[in-house]
Amino acid sequence: LWLAPSTGYALIGAGLAGFGLSLVYPALGVEAVKQVPSSSRGAGLGAYAVFFDLALAMAGPLMGAIALNLGYPWIFFSAALMGIAGLLLTLGLSRRAR
């Protein structure tokens, strides 16, 4: 957003990001709640919300530190590594659940 040529473009970008997050957050919450017994669904949703918020709180400062110390291309490389790690974790957990 900070590279937007004007305030209008920044607002449009922020709106699109918010719209995307508003679709992803509940969809992932449904999947998280499916993984816990029905008697613990409230706790499951609470844990999901806490870790989602924690991830959002950590992402900006972490990526800022990476950019400051290693340069901007490393932000994308580290994000790709985190995405791959998340995919591997998801595959491992889904196999274990079966």
Mean pLDDT by 10 residues, the chain (98 residues): 86 94 93 90 94 93 95 94 93 82
User: Which residue range is the domain that position 79 belongs to?
Assistant: 7-97
What does the block give as tokens for 4?
């937007």
Q: How far apart are the C-alpha atoms of 30 and 36, rounded to whole Å? A: 11
Residue 47 included in any domain: yes
Question: 28: closest CA among 7, 47, 6?
Answer: 47
**Is residue 13 a contact partner of residue 1, using CB atoms and an 8 Å limit?**
yes
Residue 87 lies in a domain: yes
Distance CA 25, CA 22 (A): 6
Has residue 62 been placed in a domain? yes
- Whether residue 71 contacts residue 78, with contact meaning beta carbons closer than 8 Å, is answered with no
Predicted confidence at residue 3, as pLDDT, reads 80
Q: Is residue 1 situated within a structural domain?
A: no
Q: Name the one residue in this structure whose structure tokens are 């499951």.
A: 44
In a domain, 70, yes or no: yes
Helix (H, G, I), strand (E, B) or coil at 45: helix
What would the two tokens of residue 21 be?
A: 């997050």
Q: Indicate whether this model's pTM tops 0.75.
A: no
Instruction: Note whether residue 2 is domain-resident.
Output: no
Residue 67 lies in a domain: yes
